[in-house]
Amino acid sequence: MTNKKRIIISSALIVLLFGGLWVMELTMNTASMLFVVLKKGAIYALLVAAINLLQGFTGLFSLGEAGFMLLGAYTFAIFTIPVEMRENIYQYYDGGLVQFTIPVWAALILGGLVAAFFAFLIGFVVLKLKSDYLAIATLGFAEILRAIFQWDKLGVITNGSNILRSFPGFSSVLFPFGVVGLCLAAMMLLINSSYGRAYKAMRDDEIAAEAMGINLFKTKLQAFVISSFFAGIGGGLLAMYQLTVKASTFTAALSDELLLIAVIGGIGSITGSVLASFLYIAANEWWLRFLDQETFIGAFKIPLLRSGFRKVVFSVIIMLIVLFYRRGLMGTREFSITGIYEKITAFIKKKKAAKGGAGK
Amino acid sequence: MNEFLLMGMAEISGGGFFQAIAGFFQTNLPYILAGISVGGQYALIAIGYTMVYGILRLVNFAHGDVFMTAGLICFYISTVSPLIISLPLTVLFTVALGFTIEKVAYKPLRNAPRTSAMISALGMSYLIQNLALYITGGLSKQYPQIPFISNSVTIWGATTKMVTVVTPILVILLVVALVTLIKYTKIGMAMRSVADDFETSRLMGIKIDNVISMTFIIGTFLASIGSMLYFTNYTAIVPSSGAMPGLKAFVAAVFGGIGSIPGAVIGAFLIGICENIIKGLGWTTFSDAFTFALLIIVLIFMPSGLFGEKKTDKV
């Protein structure tokens, strides 16, 4: 398959996806469950892929994702709340310190940069630690960040432990898809570049990688900063989706949940992360809702169905995947047009050959 | 409170150093007492972490949730039976739970990469919390009052529950018993050798699985005792009740040097006391953050903790 062909097919697929979404938005009820799943699923896809970049491609076990999301979400909110609303929202802090707004796209990028900057500082300190210590240390930093953002002395900026709201949300489902698509594309390019190969070498064997001339600390720090940048953007998008931001929601449990989704999709596959995120959100918000409702067939009450059962079923599924299907949905495979094209052509050739054989 | 501190500072400069210390103790006594009490409870959880980590090199994230489950089990059993029966039953069921978790979630992954076992531990923690949420229906449960230890008592003018006095004594007794077990019995010797070298112990004919099961049994036994003391102080049990104490106990284990039992106990007491003094100074927002800051400082400047052995990785 030539390069030109590949580019044509991939651009056609992208146009088809966005065209399809556009038509769907015009024709269908945008308040329906489908659009909730699409928006939230896209955001989760980015967040899970960011975790996977660390866990799956670099071999860094980080549980601090929630902290970087918090930075992204707060940065976004602080710089996009309309000035006239600030008096009302920062009511305990005289309208807050920041008295201007910046465009949505700039606020998202700024959120990513703030998260990346903090990741740089934190990474300097913790990246020398080994697997499980690293996990606990990053978790610790996320908890410290959460405490700092709830501190009333910083209330003029963060509004203390009160919520931030009234900032712009999504005008169309195309927006999160566009941002997430760009980020994922950048991530794929990174993974397939020489940097990405250095990450994988480090994941497979740190000592061998070092012997091949890879600067371990520098490479780890780079991966950590990049992953946090995307987590920050994801946090900003999550803020746009939820329309409110509150520091107390960015808990360690959120990081755990995202990591478990990455495990479902397959540690080491961005495609897997994306698939698993949409599946998880669709099942969680939509398809498995019935598990939480008490249901009767005639006079017979179906046992077990009651509020909270959905989460139990989920956790059992996750445990089954962790224990018996450790590769997840995709393992380390990725979706690629070339791969599918080759499979199809090989299949056609095989059929032709079989026919030819029968003719003799 | 702060004025007292300032007065204390002034006295230091005036030369009344001991008076200042005495003043500090006098004003902070309730917090120090609370710290000793909660520290002892953390210690009982921390031992479970440190023993499992010493043997399996696994952070058993589900341990804090087992601790919470012990509270719930006690609540549910004591609705149908008197405490004299429900307390031993609680211990029994909690130990059974710890034993089962190891068999189900960790044993199949013994030869898998370490991160798989850790993810399994995270998944187990998620499962236990969600099960608890389902069973309790999301309502917080009131821990039953255990007579004697929930009585009030006054120490040097500070009123507190009897549990504050009982906890440190009980912790010391249990730790002495545990250390004796590890030092002088056959299973204790097996534990030490497995912690030292997994493969060689296996070659020497030690039944690794039994040793690991025993570790989990001891760890959950202590956690269930800890839960009785802890929930006597903090009586509302919600599914996430175990998460924070669990993490803090883990930090205590790291602080004391992971793998070392006396280290974990001393670390837990220090963390409990510091945390409560910070609360006393009016920095409640940062009392949890302090623990993590301490963790990071310890990890960076003395990764082997207070009493841990230094380890080097072999290629």
Per-residue pLDDT, B169: 92
Indicate whether B248 pLDDT > 80.
Answer: yes
Query: Which residues neighbour A210 within 8 Å (Cβ) at sequence distance 6 or greater?
Result: A216
Q: What does the DSSP assignment read for A6-53?
A: HHHHHHHHHHHHHHHHHHHHHHS-TTSHHHHHHHHHHHHHHHHHHHHI
User: B-chain residues within 8 Å CB-CB of A309?
Assistant: 134
pLDDT digits (tens, 9 = 90+) for A214-246: 999 999 999 999 999 999 999 999 999 999 999
Which of B104, B122, B127 to mutate against chain A (most A CBs within 10 Å)?
Answer: B122
Higher pLDDT: B43 or A27? It is B43
Indicate whether A198 pLDDT > 90.
Answer: yes
Indicate whether A359 pLDDT > 50.
Answer: no
Chain B nearest-CA distance from A164, in A, is 19
Per-residue pLDDT, A177: 93
The verdict on a CB contact (< 8 Å) between B115 and A128 is: no
Amino acid sitting at position B154: T
The verdict on a CB contact (< 8 Å) between A144 and B289 is: yes
User: A-chain residues within 8 Å CB-CB of B109?
Assistant: 323
Per-residue pLDDT, A221: 95
Per-residue pLDDT, A239: 94
User: A-chain residues within 8 Å CB-CB of B134?
Assistant: 306-309, 311-312
Percent of chain A with pLDDT over 70: 98
Question: Chain A contact for B115, CB < 8 A?
Answer: yes
Considering only CA atoms, which of B171, B174, B172, B147 is closest in space to residue B161?
B147
Average pLDDT over residues B210-215: 93
Indicate whether A180 pLDDT > 80.
Answer: yes
Percent of chain B with pLDDT over 70: 93
Helix axes of B17-56 and B186-196: crossing angle, nearest 10 degrees: 80
How is chain B split into domains, by residue range? Answer: 2-301
DSSP H helical ranges for chain A: 3-27, 33-52, 65-80, 83-89, 104-126, 131-149, 155-158, 174-192, 194-204, 206-211, 216-242, 252-265, 270-282, 309-324, 337-359
The span from the CA of A292 to the CA of B76, in Å, is 23
**pLDDT confidence tier of residue A1, bands split at 50, 70 and 90:** low
What ipTM, to 2 d.p.? 0.85
Indicate whether B8 pLDDT > 60.
Answer: no
Contact B279, B235 (CB under 8 A): no
Per-residue pLDDT, B315: 56
Per-residue pLDDT, B71: 94
Per-residue pLDDT, A258: 93
Per-residue pLDDT, A356: 63
Average pLDDT over residues B136-145: 88
Indicate whether B6 pLDDT > 70.
Answer: no
pLDDT digits (tens, 9 = 90+) for A33-48: 888 899 999 999 999 9
Average pLDDT over residues A128-154: 87
Indicate whether A357 pLDDT > 70.
Answer: no
**pLDDT confidence tier of residue A301, bands split at 50, 70 and 90:** confident
**pLDDT confidence tier of residue B313, bands split at 50, 70 and 90:** low
pTM over the 0.80 mark = yes
> What are the phi and psi torsion angles at A244 (to 5°)?
-140, 155
User: A-chain residues within 8 Å CB-CB of B311?
Assistant: none
Per-residue pLDDT, A112: 96
Average pLDDT, chain B: 86
Indicate whether B5 pLDDT > 70.
Answer: no
Out of A126, A257, A308, the one facing B134 most closely (by C-beta) is: A308
Chain B nearest-CA distance from A144, in A, is 5
pLDDT digits (tens, 9 = 90+) for B112-134: 888 888 899 999 999 999 999 99
Query: Which residues neighbour A211 within 8 Å (Cβ) at sequence distance 6 or greater?
Result: none
Out of B115, B126, B286, the one facing A318 most closely (by C-beta) is: B126
Question: Chain A contact for B59, CB < 8 A?
Answer: yes
Per-residue pLDDT, B173: 95
User: B-chain residues within 8 Å CB-CB of A256?
Assistant: 122, 125-126
Per-residue pLDDT, A109: 95
For A4-12, the CB contacts below 8 A with 24+ separation are A6/A337, A6/A338, A9/A337, A9/A341, A10/A337
Query: Which of B:66-85 have CB within 8 Å of A?
Result: none
Considering only CA atoms, which of B76, B119, B287 is closest in space to residue A327?
B119
The span from the CA of B147 to the CA of B268, in Å, is 26
Per-residue pLDDT, A360: 44
Indicate whether A118 pLDDT > 90.
Answer: yes
pLDDT digits (tens, 9 = 90+) for B11-41: 445 557 777 777 777 777 888 888 999 999 9
Cα angle B27-B31-B35, degrees, rounded to a multiple of 5 = 145
Q: What does the DSSP assignment read for B180-239?
A: HHHHHSHHHHHHHHHHH-HHHHHHTT--HHHHHHHHHHHHHHHHHHHHHHHHHHS-EE-T
| C-alpha B239 chain-centroid distance | 17
What is the separation, in whole angstroms, between the first and last Cα of chain A? Answer: 31
Amino acid sitting at position B165: V
Chain A nearest-CA distance from B48, in A, is 17
| Chain A contacts to B (CB-CB under 8 A) | 55, 61, 125-126, 128-129, 131-133, 135-137, 139-141, 143-144, 146-148, 150-152, 207, 252-253, 256-257, 259-260, 263, 306-309, 311-312, 314-316, 318-319, 322-323, 326
CA atoms within 13 A on the CB side of A62: 35
pLDDT digits (tens, 9 = 90+) for A249-269: 998 889 999 999 999 998 889
Higher pLDDT: B59 or B8? It is B59
Per-residue pLDDT, A339: 79
Question: If you count residue pairs, one on A and one on B, with CB atoms under 8 Å apart, how many are there?
Answer: 123
Indicate whether A72 pLDDT > 90.
Answer: yes
Per-residue pLDDT, B154: 80
Question: Chain A contact for B131, CB < 8 A?
Answer: yes
**pLDDT confidence tier of residue A336, bands split at 50, 70 and 90:** confident
Per-residue pLDDT, B223: 95
Tokens 């990346």 correspond to A116
Which of A130, A131, A132, A294 to mutate against chain B (most B CBs within 10 Å)?
Answer: A132
Question: Chain A contact for B134, CB < 8 A?
Answer: yes
Query: Which residues neighbour A302 within 8 Å (Cβ) at sequence distance 6 or greater?
Result: A294, A295, A296
Which of B292, B294, B302, B311 to mutate against chain A (most A CBs within 10 Å)?
Answer: B292
Per-residue pLDDT, B312: 58
Name the strand (E) or helix (H) holding B142.
strand B141-142
Q: Does the B2-301 domain belong in CATH 1.20.58?
A: no
